[in-house]
């Protein structure tokens, strides 16, 4: 199976589907009740609170490792029929939508957009690409389980990891840098 020349064509329909799922989930999250939004915001603050007190390099490394582990899990777990990547994209979209609405209610839409910018520019695209490859792998695994695919799963998995380190990992490095700067700036301002 020769996958290298086809990498863009292989993933494009999955990427479009994951982006649509994310968008629908995000807008669904913006429509939840204010009380639910507050609860979700408190949970998010607790998670972010775990980063408080970390110096720049330690904060960057912590964010990067967390995001790398999460996206690799999303990619690899795709072999279980693509369920985990779909859930990861949907829940991230919904959660970010809830947080966006919560931030917009307290500080306006422009400030809310700036708060989610580090995630939207680098981390969400990285998640979408990793999830797309996860769903693609899930489709191959399902076809293999049904006896309709004779390709060893190792080859598509190797291809997905090559693309991961060419596309997803650099996005995560940039995202960790942006998120670190954002958190440190917020700590100084607050």
* pLDDT per residue as tens digits for the range 87-113: 999 999 998 998 888 888 888 888 888
For residue 131, the model assigns a pLDDT of: 97
What is the mean pLDDT of the segment spanning 140-165?
88
Per-residue pLDDT at 178 exceeds 70: yes
Q: What percent of the chain has pLDDT over 70?
A: 86
Residue 163 and residue 171: Cα distance in Å, rounded?
12
Residue that has been written with the tokens 């949970």 in this structure:
43
What is the mean pLDDT of the segment spanning 66-77?
96
For residue 67, the model assigns a pLDDT of: 94
Q: What is the pTM of this model?
A: 0.86
For residue 38, the model assigns a pLDDT of: 72
Residue that has been written with the tokens 């775990």 in this structure:
50
What is the mean pLDDT of the segment spanning 128-154?
89
Per-residue pLDDT at 2 exceeds 50: no
Residue 174 and residue 76: Cα distance in Å, rounded?
22
| CA-closest candidate to residue 121, choices 95, 157, 96, 84 | 96
CB atoms within 10 A of CB 61: 14
Contacts of residues 182-188 at CB distance under 8 Å and 24 or more positions apart, as own/partner, are 182/117, 182/118, 183/48, 183/51, 183/59, 184/56, 184/59, 187/52
Q: Which two tokens stand for residue 16?
A: 């479009």
Q: What percent of the chain has pLDDT over 90?
A: 47
| CA-closest candidate to residue 111, choices 120, 122, 100 | 100
Per-residue pLDDT at 128 exceeds 90: yes
pLDDT, mean over the chain: 85
For residue 16, the model assigns a pLDDT of: 96
For residues 47 and 27, the model is more confident at: 27
Is residue 25 a contact partner of residue 89, using CB atoms and an 8 Å limit?
yes
């Amino acid at each position: 199976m020769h996958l290298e020349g086809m990498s863009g064509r292989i993933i494009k329909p999955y990427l479009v589907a994951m982006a649509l799922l994310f968008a629908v989930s995000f807008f669904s999250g913006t429509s939840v009740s204010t009380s639910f939004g507050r609860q979700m915001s408190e949970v998010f603050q607790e998670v972010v609170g775990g980063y408080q007190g970390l110096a720049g390099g330690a904060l960057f490394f912590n964010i990067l490792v967390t995001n790398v582990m999460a996206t690799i899990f999303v990619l690899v777990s795709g072999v279980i029929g693509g369920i985990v990547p779909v859930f990861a994209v949907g829940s991230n979209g919904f959660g970010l939508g809830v947080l966006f609405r919560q931030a917009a209610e307290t500080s306006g839409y422009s400030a809310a957009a700036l708060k989610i910018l580090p995630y939207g520019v680098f981390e969400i695209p990285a998640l979408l690409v990793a999830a797309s490859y996860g769903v693609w792998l899930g489709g191959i695994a399902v076809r293999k389980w049904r006896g309709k695919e004779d390709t060893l799963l190792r080859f598509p998995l190797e291809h997905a990891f090559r693309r991961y380190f060419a596309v997803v990992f650099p996005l995560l490095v940039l995202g960790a840098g942006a998120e670190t700067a954002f958190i440190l700036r917020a700590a100084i301002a607050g």
